[in-house]
Amino acid sequence: MSGPLLAVHDLRKAYGALQVTNGVSFTVQEGQLHAIIGPNGAGKTTLVAQLSGQLRPDAGRVEYAGQDVTRLDMPARVGRGLARSFQITTLLPGMTALDNVALAVQARAGSSFRFFRPAASDRAITAEAMDALSEVGLDDRAYRLAGALSHGERRQLELAVALATRPRLLLLDEPLAGTAGEEAERLIALIGRMKRRLTMVLIEHDMTAVFALADWISVLVYGEIIAGGTPAQVRANPKVRAAYLGEDAA
């Protein structure tokens, strides 16, 4: 495939007089981890909702793998290999870690949901779900209830659920939210391993993670991209420092 894996053209979304995304355009190359940063209220979560198909833009276009997917909903985009992890976890706390991932495998495979017995009772589904858990370092937590996992482990589980959909492009919406110390370090290392084989768009407030992981950074302020470049270029950009990074970029 020639051209970018993801191309966003003049994306706009307003709620009444409030313009949340205002002519947002950028591209993501295959194999790239493209971070989108900005202050609270910049429109980052609204933007990723439009990229994932959760929210339809008022205007503009989203192209994925050379196809216009602007009007496709989230399940259709997941089916094409564009998956998302959420800022607020969406796991099923009363089910095991294994069954949470197995349900994602089952949904991707197009199987009907058999709620009278666990999805993980299917051996092929179980094996694939265990592979995803192993990739994020949770294979030893497979039979623990999701609700009994630590906050950082739930973040890891959410990534396993996303990986179970076999994404080509993964949208990460603040995966480090609520983590600190060793949990944060573990997640940064995990995302670093994942970027070796996946293209990713990362929405994140943790600048340590962003500058450690990103190949390219777009800076979103008041619904507009005000700058883009490598981590070094963004860190040194006076406009970015004034609008957002400030002394944190030192």
Query: Does the pLDDT of residue 18 top 70, yes or no?
Result: yes
Who has greater pLDDT, 211 or 120? 211
CB atoms within 10 A of CB 190: 18
CATH class belonging to 1-81+167-250: alpha beta
* HSE toward the beta carbon, residue 202, CA cutoff 13 A: 31
Residue the block writes with tokens 């910049």:
42
What average pLDDT does this structure show over 110-124?
57
What average pLDDT does this structure show over 47-74?
95
Residue pair 104/161 in contact by the 8 Å Cβ criterion: yes
What residue type is 129 in one-letter code? A
What average pLDDT does this structure show over 187-206?
93
Residue pair 227/214 in contact by the 8 Å Cβ criterion: no
Query: Does the pLDDT of residue 8 top 70, yes or no?
Result: yes
Structural domain spans, the chain: 1-81+167-250, 89-166
Q: What is the DSSP letter of 147?
A: G
> If phi over 0 gives left and psi between -120 and 50 gives alpha, with beta otherwise, what is residue 244?
alpha
What average pLDDT does this structure show over 206-221?
94
